[in-house]
Chains A and B, each alone.
Chain A
Amino acid sequence: MTANEATLTSLAGASAQGDKRAYRDLLRAVVPLLTGYFSRRLQYNSEVDDLVQDTLIAVHRRFDSYDTGRPFGPWLFAVARHKLLDHFRRRRPHVPLADIAEIAADVSFDEATGARLDIEAALDRLNDKQAQSIRLTRIDGLTVAEAANAQGVSESDVKVSVHRGLKALMRMIEVK
C-alpha cells in the first residue's frame, strides 16, 4: 500500500509542529518508498539497505530544510537522489562530479511513484541490465560514463543495453 502525496505532506506538516506520532508514521511510510527507489537503481541488497538507512538519517537530520508549504515527495526524493549520487561518487573518487548531469528536480511525487509505475511496469519486463541502464541514463540523468561506473561495466555495454532496451520498449508499446 503506497501512501499518497497528500497523506505524507500532512504527516510531515504535523511532524514539523512537534507531533511525535505523526513523525513516526512518516518515517515508517518513507522506508518502502526509499527501498523501491534505491532497489531500482542499485545492484546489491546490502547497498540498498545502506542507502535506505543513510537517507533515513539524512531525512531526520535535515528535516528543517523541508518547507511545510510544499509537497513532501519532491523533498524526500531530492534527499534520496543526493545520497545516491554521493554513493556513486564515493565508489570511484576520481570521476569528475561535473560529468554527473542533474536531472530536473521538479519530479512530482506522482511522477516519482504513481505515473512512473507505468514506466516501471514496462521496464520490469526488460532484463535487469537494460532496465537499470535506462533508469540511470534516462530517468536519473547520469552520463554514460557514470552509469557504466555504477554498474561496473564498459560504456559501450551501457549504450548497447540502453539501445536494445528502448527498442524492446517500443515494440511493447506498438504491440499494445
Chain B
Amino acid sequence: MTHDELVAQLAAEGAIRHRMPLRMQVLSAATIGMLFVLAIVLLWGVRPDFSAAWLTGMFWIKLAYGILIATVAILACILLMRPEANPPRFLLLAGAPFAALAVLAVREWNSLPSGAAHAAWLGETWATCPWTIAALALIPMAALFRTARRMAPTHYGLTGSSIGLASGAIAAALYALHCPESSATFVLTWYTAGIAISTALGGLFARKIIAW
C-alpha cells in the first residue's frame, strides 16, 4: 500500500474522537470507579460508630489522606496520557500527605504507653485492611486503564503506577467510611500499604495493558 492509499483509507474513516476532552475522560473514569467503590463500601455499611466518628478530626484526616494523594495522582495521569508529556515532578507532592500523617503518627506513638501504642498501631483489622483497599482499588484501576488504552502514554511504568496510586488512594479514602480504626500510626502503615500494593500492581502490569 502506498502512503497516499493509506492516507485515503484513514481519511475516509475520519478522525477517531471521543466527545469529551482528554482530561474529562480521565476524570470521568476516576469518578465512575469512585462511585462503584462507594456503592460497595455503603453495602458493607459505614463504621458502627459513624455518628460519633465523623465529628472527630481523625475521621477527616483519614479521608483527606486518600483524597489529597488521589488528586495529585489523577493530575499526573491526565498529563501522562499525552505522548509528549515529561515525567511530572509534581508527582512527588503525593508524598506530602504521607509526611504530614507521619508527624501525627510519631506524636501519637510518643503520647501512648508502649503497649497501647502497639495495640493502636495494629488495631483490629491490620491484616485485612491493606488487601481490602488494594482489592477495592481494582475498580477505578480498570476504568482508568480502559481510558489509557485509548490514549497515547509513552512512559508505561510511570503511567501504570500513577493509575495504581490514584486508584489506591480513592479506595483508601472511601474505605475510611467503613473502617473502624482511628489511629494515625494505623492509617500511616496499613492504608499506605494498600495504596502501595495498588501502585505496584499498576506499574507492573502497565506495559501489558497499555502498550501501543
**Hey, which bits of chain A sit against chain B, CB under 8 A?**
15-16, 18, 20, 23-24, 27-28, 31, 35, 49, 52-53, 56-58, 60-68, 70, 74-75, 77-79, 81-82, 102, 104-106
Contact = CB atoms under 8 A, between A and B. Distances in A.
A62 B83 contact: yes
Contacts of B18: 64
Contacts of A63: 15-17
A119 to B, nearest CB: 20
B3 A23 contact: no
Interface of B: 1, 3, 6-8, 10-11, 13-18, 21-22, 25, 81-86, 150-152, 154-155, 212
A23 B15 contact: yes
B21 A105 contact: no
Nearest to B9: A60
Find the residue from A31, A35, A105 having the highest chain B CB count within 10 A. A105
A75 to B, nearest CB: 5
A24 B81 CA distance: 25
Given A64-B25, A77-B84, A78-B152, 17 more contacts: A15-B17, A28-B7, A53-B6, A56-B6, A57-B10, A60-B13, A61-B16, A63-B17, A64-B22, A66-B82, A67-B22, A67-B82, A68-B21, A70-B82, A78-B84, A79-B83, A82-B152
Q: What DSSP secondary structure best describes chain B's contact surface?
A: loop
Which of B7, B83, B155 has its CB near the most chain A CB atoms (within 10 A)?
B83
Contacts, number: 95
B7 A27 contact: yes
A69 to B, nearest CB: 8
15 contacts: A16-B17, A20-B11, A23-B14, A27-B7, A27-B10, A56-B7, A57-B6, A60-B10, A63-B16, A64-B18, A64-B25, A68-B21, A78-B152, A81-B154, A102-B155
A52 B3 contact: yes
Nearest to B8: A24
Nearest to B85: A105
B3 A106 contact: no
B7 A31 contact: yes
B151 A15 contact: no
Contact of B11 (A27, A53, A74): A27
Contacts of B17: 15-16, 18, 63-64
B197 to A, nearest CB: 23
Contacts of A105: 84-86, 154
Contacts of B81: 65
A66 B22 CA distance: 8
Contacts of A56: 3, 6-7, 10
B58 to A, nearest CB: 40
A75 B153 CA distance: 11
Given A23-B11, A56-B10, A79-B152, A64 B16 contact: yes
Given A18-B14, A78-B84, A82-B154, A62 B3 contact: no
Contacts of B150: 62, 64-65
Nearest to B21: A67
